[in-house]
Amino acid sequence: GIVQVVYPSVNSDFELARLGPGDFFGEMALLNDKPRSATVRAMTALEVLVLDKEDFRRVVSETPGLAFKLLAALSVRIRNADEQISNLSDQAVRDPLTGLLNRRAFQDRLSEEVNRARRYGSAFSLLIIDVDHFKSINDTLGHVAGDEVLAWVGRILLEHTRAADAPFRIGGEEFAVLCPAADSHMAGQAAQRLVAVVAEAKPPTDQVLKVTMSAGYASCPEHGTTFEDLYMVADNALLQAKVDGRNRVSHPPPPGEA
């Protein structure tokens, strides 16, 4: 017959595997005396051979060939489980539309950079970027066109930043880029480059559309040494760029000035 191996979760059960004739299950609990970590459900009528713990261990001990086959099968299962877990973990921190890291990942990474800077005295910079007048794009051209623009911006952020930089989508039309080992001057140049590329390029939409972005930035330790301070400085600079007319980068005020 056929059985389904599932991992129970709060919202829905996640299928780990489907096993058929000649396969085995339950061996891990018998080997390590731990509670089962998954549930096995019959998908069809079954005929199964049931071994208790002592019988199972005796068969494995007395039959090296069987033990080797069991080990080989377990290695495949562990590898598959690792790949599934890795994929699930990646999905949890990726924005499905742009493929960029999401706000949750951004908060974790910014906290890590702050802690690293405190520990080693290293510098880094944070860019906050917003697509100008994005609501009007959705209102006039529809959400499909809006999604195309966001995905396009995401690709530009990936293609026009350093390999060490980490772009994120942290809101509807709001993006961020963490730039390790980048001072304030380098951050300003990076932000200006991204704003200029978007302004000069044509988004892949059927309609003729001009897209621009505004950006602000902050550098650690020059503008702050905490998550909150750096985000506030960069976000305030972004707001100033919008006030000044959009399609531009606003420099943060010198430390100590409002």
Residues with a known catalytic role? 173
Q: Which residue has the tokens 């600079």?
A: 237
Kindly report each contact of residues 78-87 with a partner whose C-beta sits within 8 Å and lies 24 or more positions away, as own/partner: 80/17, 81/16, 84/16
Q: How far apart are CA 170 and CA 148, in angstroms?
A: 17
**Cβ contact 137:208 at 8 Å:** no
Query: H-helix or E-strand containing 15?
Result: strand 14-19
Describe the crossing of helices 184-200 and 143-159 by its angle, rounded to 10 degrees. Answer: 140
Place of tokens 């980068």: 249
Cβ within 8 Å of residue 207, ≥6 positions away: 141, 145
